[in-house]
Structures are given as structure tokens and as C-alpha cells.
Chain A
């Protein structure tokens, strides 16, 4: 997915965010750092998990992101 391939691979926040999501029952979610300052946690996740993601947003931001957002291209309704 565009926006997260390069620096994302060495960004520890990504593995931490994916682990956090797994621990809270969101399996298969992919996270990348997006934005011109890599300030956004861009999450690829199914529509069924978005409500849970909203609840977890503060914890994901605490990893060092300013925003948490769903990649609309990944949402299957």
C-alpha cells in the first residue's frame, strides 16, 4: 500500500500498533505511517472492526502518532 513502504519498515510504531490491534481481537489489520511527517497511523481494516478501532485510537496515538485513520480503499462493506 502506498505511503508506508519505505521508512515504515523500520518504524517501530507500526509493529507496536499491529500487535496492539491483534491483542484486542482485530486480526489481520495492517498499519503504515502516512502523511508528510509520518504522523498518521493508517490502518487497513474491515468495516466490522472500525468501531473497536475508534475505541483503541488513544492507545495507538500514544505510540507516537498524531492521528489514527482508516484506509478507505481497504474497507469492505
Chain B
């Protein structure tokens, strides 16, 4: 089954001929870029990273390490989704505006370099969550080979492990704006606070977590297995994170869960606009 899906992925890439890959340095895009280089050769592949205030520095480090290790042609370009007031207002379809900015720039790059198709790293699981960014991809003619091949996140991790990619067990790392609940404006200062607070948790050895920004409150979502250690360090964590500018630091008792800020949308019945 897994081999069949991989074969389908290879077939899709061959059909494309030459590709420009939206490349964040996460599990999916690293895998996709590596397979694209293996199948099409480096002359027919360009991985492009959009650098913006919502892109974590730690993610950029992984992105650069992988292109160096695996010989993936790479380009970084500046994107500025914050300049779009539709994005900055942080509506439920915020990702649509961010991805519109990204894909419109990547289409230009692809055209300039003579690359036939722009690709993203959406996978088969992404159809289950609220993903307005996928609409922007469709509108810009971006293809999603991992999704088309039916590869799930778990399967991409397994294939990445077999290929020796360092990202195979890397926690998911969506953009920093995903830590702000819908309706709370996205600002450079808030993104910086989230990134700094998450660096505090990373320094202390926590592995799976999010710092959710609720205005003056930081709500820490930490994997259930790591919660006891967070409680042991309660005073130190509270002090360090308050220094960043939060008045109050809260530890969510349910722990880290993917897409937690979409829970409100589902409760309100507004999650059907995939």
C-alpha cells in the first residue's frame, strides 16, 4: 500500500516535468523536495521558502540544513502577509490571505525560471481539518502531489525515516500566527512574543507544545506526557514568560492538541468552508 502510494507520487512528479516547491522545512515539504530531486534531478527542481514575520527562525534553520545535506536547489524570498489588512485582522480564513501572498510570488518565480508546476506539501490528512489555505492553492493552480497520492502524515514520516531525512520525527510546525485565536489581530510584536516564549520551552527540553497568545495571557499547550515536568517548573516558566510581556501564564490541562484554535470554529458550526 505504502509502496503503491510512493509509486503514484513518483508518477505525478514525472508528469509535472519541472517543479517549484513551496518549502517550509517541515516534514512534508522536505520529503516532497527530496523526492522531487531524486525523480526529476536538481536542474528541474527549485524549493522556495517564504520568509516573513510568521515564519519561525528555528524552522528556517531546519530548512537550510536539509537543502545543504540533500543538494536541493533553494531560494528564499520575502513575503509580507502582514501588509494585507485582511490577514492582519486574523479572520478564520487568515491562511487564505497568507497563501495567496505566497503562491502569487512563487508563480512568478516559477515562470521566470521556466518551471512548469508549483507544488505544495499538503497531505491526505489535511482534508480533515479547516484549511482555507488549500483554497488559495487551488486558485493559483498549485498541485498537491502528497495529497493526490493519498499519503498521510504518518506515511510521510515513515518514508522520511527510511530515506534518512532528519525531519521524520520532527513535530508539526505551522506558522506563528496559528498561535493567535481568530479575531485577535496579528502583529509583529505578538508573533515575536510567541516565538520567544516557545524558545523558552524548547530550551527547557519540551518537545511538543504551542504557546497560544490570548492578548495579555499566554496559554501553554504542552504534550500530556510532558505536563508533570511543566508543573514542576511552574514558577520558573511563569517568570520567564512574563518577562516577554504576558501578564499571566496559564497551562492548559488538556495538553497540546493539533488545531486547538479551530475547536471554537467547530463548536460554532463554522468549520465547513474547507
Contact = CB atoms under 8 A, between A and B. Distances in A.
A57 B253 contact: yes
Interface residues of A, number: 25
B216 interface: yes
A35 B267 CA distance: 18
B112 interface: no
B264 to A, nearest CB: 6
A2 B248 contact: yes
Contacts of A34: 214, 217, 248, 250
Nearest to B232: A77
A68 B231 contact: no
Interface string A57-77: 100000000111111110101
A20 interface: no
Contacts of A28: none
B267 A77 contact: no
Nearest to B185: A36
B184 interface: yes
A11 interface: no
Interface in A11-56: 34-37, 39-40, 42, 47, 50, 53-54
A2 B216 contact: yes
B252 interface: yes
A77 B235 contact: yes
A2 B267 CA distance: 28
Chain A binding surface, main DSSP class: mixed
A73 B235 contact: yes
Given A72-B235, A72-B238, A73-B238, A37 B181 contact: yes
Contacts of B254: 54, 57, 67-68
Contact of A69 (B237, B247, B250, B263): B250
A70 B253 contact: yes
A67 B219 contact: yes
B215 interface: yes
B250 A71 contact: yes
Interface of A: 1-3, 34-37, 39-40, 42, 47, 50, 53-54, 57, 66-73, 75, 77
Given A35-B215, A77-B232, 13 more contacts: A3-B216, A34-B217, A36-B181, A39-B181, A53-B253, A67-B219, A69-B251, A71-B250, A72-B220, A72-B234, A72-B235, A73-B248, A75-B234
Interface of B: 181, 183-184, 214-217, 219-220, 231-232, 234-235, 237-238, 247-254, 260, 263-264, 267
